[in-house]
Structure 1
Amino acid sequence: MSDNNAILVLGAGQLGMAVLRHLAPHVERAAGASLSVLLRPSTAASADTAKRHDLAALGALGVDIVEGDLAAQSGAELAATFSRFDTVIPCTGFVGGPGVQRKIARAALDAGVQRFVPWQFGVDYDVIGRGSPQDLFDEQLDVRDMLRAQQGTEWVIVSTGMFTSFLFEPAFGVVDLAANTVNALGSWDTAVTITTAEDIGALTAAILFAEPRIANRAVHVAGDTVTYRQVADALDRARGVKVRRHEWTVPELKRQLAADPEDALRKYRAVFAEGRGVAWDKAQTFNAQRGIAVCGLDQWLRDHLH
């Protein structure tokens, strides 16, 4: 596509690498197109074995490296970098701290990029609304307001739900494999949409190159939508033993958060327990409507439980 010729992905972590891997074949087929990634200078020059491996993988994909620092650089400096590209896709998450997502969005708009895919790979912030237990989500709504208030830059939001791996992150506390326990957030009937980083990469690339063109709206994708009861049942089947089950109610989780209001994981637990904007019908998703195969809960367990 003519105005998707020069694509810049911000960051090469788990999601950034997946997005780059799946964009590369599209870019290779498009005459005159290019694919670049923004990395901190320290990352680009790193001697770390894992980082060197990633850098070699980027080279094999034909990805050019652009140096920059989203947290340290000013909005004007970022805009100067972004202005060299048609499409900008941040894949760095919240690691830069409060205000960074607003700064990136402002820089993309000031740069006049033709297409912007903001870091909104997660829940449906419009449904959750302002003032949720996770205060970082308000910044996501600020970014949406900025994008909707202008016409110069086309935008696409990809709503993915929770990253599947995060559901099984020991620190998150929902699935504790070592203790053979599942802690339901809110109730056993509370649902959550989950999607793997690899599928998010594939679906983001498919959305960007979709015909008819997708513009100025949020697109929902899903690897699976499951209740916490279904998560526990799936673990029972996969492991051949019954997991212990505890229910963490919303009032209990809010009490935990009040006791340590700066704890990011307690914020996430409370907002997912409320159940608003964190789950949607798989049948209505982009991948279901296009017949794109994705990794559901049972397949993820087969792939990761040994």
Structure 2
Amino acid sequence: MPDEAWESLSLPKSPITTNHDPEAANGTQQEQRHLGRSFGAPTRVVGIGFFEYFLPLMTILGDIIQLHRRKSHPRFGNLQRSKSTPINGVAQDNQAHEGHDRNIEGDPAYLIVEKVMSECAQSIVDLAIRYDVDALNNAGIPASQVRTPNSTGFAPRDEENHSSNSSHAQISVDDAMDHRRNNDTVDASRHQSLTTTHRHHAQAQLVTAYSTFIINVLHVLLHGKWDAVSMLDNEDGWIPSVGFMKCASHAIAASDAVSRILACDPELSFMPYLFGIYLLHGSFILLLFADRMPQIGLNESVERACEIIIRAHEVCVVTLSTEFQVRLSI
């Protein structure tokens, strides 16, 4: 359901969920999109409402946390290693250890989560196409038009009520005044409709940029290490693994998404508390690049990614709460 429906407690008469789709006039498309919903929390971004884009991402995060706990469990974490196929009757412990700690390609659970994340990423792309986000060209969005999860509604609703009240307050004295008032109402409604559409498209630009960033951070959490010190020590030889390569590529992709976010939301006001947490976890892998850059040499894409993340952290320090960093360091 859209956020407006939750705020006004206006439950839909039909069980089919609706959203701010520009093609909302075509009810068949929305009906087809929701008829295939499966049981459980959604894992695809379907709209620009808070529950429509953030809940699917958090559902995937929950799966990643479960996998991380299983991998770190003293007994259950060895299940994948024990399933390794023995060669010549001897279990290949070293290869199984690499398959458990480095290469997780053979774990069905990880493959399922990767598939779900791929589908979620495609749903974000579909949302951007539906709202023609590329046409906005990462234009900056005024803070008054940024709808945060804590906001109570779009400003156009207040403007609509104001225009409606002012139009009804006028008492017609003759047919000419009635005609003029009707024309003014039509013009105001048309202007209001265009304004609302523009704000929905601007909201979609923010939703797709932030969602793209978070989905890349989720890839980093799935394939990477959650402890920066352990990652820098590299005692288990994780760096040359396939998981490291995937983690590094998604970290750079996350920095590109941050660049888009800073272009359209310079103050990072769309997700004021949650964004800093994901920014911190998504930048751990860049610490490793920065630490080893003197040995491996400069890399333009990595250097640019580090600069973007540093700039985002500077904005967070100035505008956002950083209490979570204090708790993390204690």
TM normalised by structure 1 equals 0.28
TM normalised by structure 2 equals 0.27
Higher strand proportion, which one?
1
